């Protein structure tokens, strides 16, 4: 049980490192994000998804007074980051929750492949 949990945490840490690695010269001006919300196997997938979403929103949020354009950039940052993270974590349960939350039809092929 401990080995499985450790493996799951290592996989999430690796996915986070890949998802938020700097893009280099291909996308100048794009900042990298560091998150500390691992996937916890004892929690429900929804709780894990919400914890990741909160971390991403905090990481994308600017401090101080923000205009409408900055708020739009924050929402876009959070949406794009969550989309990339869920795609790279390769967990059908998180993907289904994410697809539902953004109004995208669920990818049943991916869900069946996990079974």
Label each residue of 39-91 as H, E or C: CCCCCCHHHHHHHHHHHHHHHHCCCCCCCHHHHHHHHHHHHHHHHHHHHHHCC
For the chain, which residues make up each domain, given as ranges? 2-22+37-114
Residue-wise over 56-79: b if at least 16 C-beta within 10 A, else e? beebbeeeeeeeeeeeeebeebbe
Q: How far apart are CA 50 and CA 39, in angstroms?
A: 11
The pTM score is 0.61
Digitized pLDDT (tens) for each residue of the chain, 115 residues in all: 554 555 455 455 555 555 554 444 344 455 666 676 678 889 999 999 999 999 999 999 888 888 899 999 999 999 999 999 888 888 888 888 988 888 877 665 555 554 4
Phi, then psi, of 14 in degrees rounded to 5: -65, -40
């Amino acid at each position: 049980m401990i080995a499985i949990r450790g493996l799951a945490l290592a996989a999430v840490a690796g996915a986070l490192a890949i998802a938020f690695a700097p893009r280099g010269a291909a996308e100048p001006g794009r900042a990298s994000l560091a998150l500390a919300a691992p996937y916890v196997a004892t929690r429900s997938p929804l709780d894990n998804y919400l914890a990741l979403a909160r971390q991403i929103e905090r990481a994308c949020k600017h401090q101080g007074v923000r205009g409408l354009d900055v708020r739009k950039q924050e929402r876009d940052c959070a949406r794009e980051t969550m989309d990339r993270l869920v795609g790279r974590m390769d967990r059908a349960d998180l993907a289904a929750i994410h697809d539902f939350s953004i109004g995208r039809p669920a990818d049943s092929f991916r869900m069946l492949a996990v079974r």
